[in-house]
Amino acid sequence: MFAFLNKNNATTAAAVELDPKRIPAHVAIIMDGNGRWAKARHLPRIAGHKEGMNTVKTITIAASDLGVKVLTLYAFSTENWKRPKAEVNYLMQLPVNFFDTFVPDLVKNNVRVQVMGYTDQLPAATQKAVNKAIADTQACDGMVLNFALNYGSRAEMITGIQALAQQVADGHLAVDAIDETAVDQALMTAQLAPYNDPDLLIRTSGEERISNFLLWQIAYSELVFTDVKWPDFSATTLQACIADFQRRDRRFGGLSDQK
């Protein structure tokens, strides 16, 4: 019921007034619907991914202009390897094309690139492009553009739990010292501190599920689902999603001021 209302709000992409003091610091996006966007145009699925890459450029600048501190984009999941090889190859090539053409704009907009995920399993050319983009933008101190590449939340938690267990086994950590901060620090989002957790999670294309994305970190995130497919997602749609976020009453388990 609420998701349905939210979805409609976010889809009504009329001009919206945003409160500049309540821009979500960390926005995470599950970029979905590239394939359906292409199919509706009788194009191959990769045409949707190509257009999706252009949307990433637009939304990066739009988010940075709005004052977002961290923009996390789910670009490739640990489950996406199950797709046809040609599509996987294309998705692995996208970061190369993206950074080849876009790093000067990122630097101009003071945006720093980060990546989270099992990047050592990516093709060498993809790793090289990603590492170069991280190095080329390392002096930027504006928004962080954080790509989730070969990322999966359960795998991330397993890796984090193993690291904590190893510290216990080595005698460096007491079992009862494992608290929320220790878990935060063991996850891949530790590098985003103090903005580890998304304030707003957006999923495009009408699907309403989390798909193994940031399961620990979204405990108190506001969720916005929009019918808009990722290639059609615009700066205006982003503003509508943030307007939806600003209408929410975030209580973090407590009571709002009015109560």
* Residues engaged in binding ligand FPP (CB under 6 A): 31-36, 49, 52-53, 56, 75, 80, 91, 94-95, 98, 147, 205, 230
SS in 3 state form for 68-104?
CCEEEEEEEECCHHHCCHHHHHHHHHHHHHHHHHHHH
> What's the min distance (Å) between Cβ of 61 and ligand FPP?
14
Q: Which residue is nearest to ligand FPP (CB)?
A: 35
Strands of 112-116's sheet in order across: 112-116, 144-151, 70-77, 26-30, 200-203, 222-225
Q: Is 8 a catalytic site residue?
A: no
Residue 180 burial (C-beta neighbours within 10 Å; 0-12, 13-18, 19+): exposed
> What's the min distance (Å) between Cβ of 119 and ligand FPP?
12
Structure tokens at 137: 């933008």
Nearer to ligand FPP, 133 or 223 (CB): 133
Q: Decide if 202 contacts 26 (C-beta within 8 A).
A: no
CA–CA separation, 217 and 146 (whole Å)? 14
CA–CA separation, 30 and 39 (whole Å)? 19
> What's the min distance (Å) between Cβ of 95 and ligand FPP?
4
Nearer to ligand FPP, 50 or 167 (CB): 50
> What's the min distance (Å) between Cβ of 222 and ligand FPP?
22
The residue from 32, 197, 199, 244 that is catalytic is: 32
Nearer to ligand FPP, 16 or 43 (CB): 43
Beta strands in 109-215 (DSSP E): 112-116, 144-151, 200-203
> What's the min distance (Å) between Cβ of 80 and ligand FPP?
5
Nearer to ligand FPP, 99 or 195 (CB): 99
For residue 119, the 8-state DSSP code is G
CA–chain centroid gap for 37, Å, is: 20
Nearer to ligand FPP, 95 or 198 (CB): 95
Q: Decide if 222 contacts 250 (C-beta within 8 A).
A: yes
The residue from 6, 19, 80, 249 that is catalytic is: 80
Q: Is 80 a catalytic site residue?
A: yes
CA–CA separation, 198 and 160 (whole Å)? 19
Q: Catalytic site residues?
A: 32, 80
